[in-house]
Structure 1
Amino acid sequence: MAKWADYLISHVRRDSNGNVTSVLMHEDKGESILQLGIKTKNEVIVLIKKGYTFKTVIWGYPKWNKGADVHIVKIGNEEFIRTDRNKTDKDNLDNLIPLN
């Protein structure tokens, strides 16, 4: 399997407004995917700013399915992680499984 991105996001935790607060992050090793644990939205933003790439992934037994590229969008003074670049104030990683 070719490497899709530096890091992958499979699950999200949201606040009461529906905005992503943390994610379940994995490292894409090319032939395998290594679960790294829960990271905050701000930790993801720092890594994207450093040049690391992110994609979403969805488990489709017996393998992972590649999702969309994850980007930063700044609205006012706040930054959001999104899979598209429209200018809404909601993080839109909507197809991912919620973290408990």
Structure 2
Amino acid sequence: MKKWADFLISEVTYDLDHKISIIKRHSETESGITPGIEIDRLNISSDIQSGFSYVTIYKSGSTWKLGNKLNSFRIGGDYFLRIDKNIAKLDYLGDLPEVEFIDDEIDSALEEKLNKLSTQLETKPVQEKPVQEKPVQEKPVQEKPVQEKPVQE
């Protein structure tokens, strides 16, 4: 069976400028479609510039349906990723599900660290250290005679 593409996209998150932030990327194997991993926009652009192909896919019950090929083009110095041929300064993956990708493991670890730090700050009093004064060494000012020059008219 012929592969649909090198990589498959099933979900997307856009930033405020409607550029892809993260996608869920799958691979097609002999045993089916892999569960997918989160990939950022830079990696997608790099893959496409390296010759890898991407298509969108849609979940239908227990199977996947083929969507559209992902195209990359450049306007000025910026790359844009779209499934249509419109030349617009935003990414577009059709009606793929838009999701918030959150790594719960990272979030809980960060939350735990923040809680520890805030507890430490609340329980430890601030220790004031006296400022050490250094003596200032005074030097006499050497006066130089001012040279006067006539004003030219």
Please name the residue that 1:24 is paired with: 24
User: How many Å separate the matches in 1 of 2:20 and 2:47?
Assistant: 16
Structure with larger RCO (C-alpha < 8 A, sep 6+): 1
The runs of 4+ residues in structure 1 deviating greater than 2 Å are none
Please name the residue that 2:66 is paired with: 66
**By how many angstroms is 1:74 displaced?**
0.8
1:10 aligns with 2:10: yes
State the structure with more CA Rg.
Answer: 2
**By how many angstroms is 1:60 displaced?**
0.9
**Per-residue CA distance 1:41-73 (angstroms, 9 max, x = gap):** 110111111111110001011210000000111
**By how many angstroms is 1:34 displaced?**
1.1
Please name the residue that 2:107 is paired with: none
**Per-residue CA distance 1:5-55 (angstroms, 9 max, x = gap):** 010001001111222111100012254111341101110111111111110
Name the TM-score, length of structure 2 as normaliser: 0.61
Give 1 or 2: higher helix fraction: 2
Name the TM-score, length of structure 1 as normaliser: 0.90
Amino acid at match of 2:84: D
Which consecutive residues of structure 1, in runs of 5 or more, have no partner in the other structure? none
Task: Say which SS state the counterpart of residue 89 (structure 1) adopts.
Answer: coil
Give 1 or 2: higher strand fraction: 1
Provide the identity percentage.
26
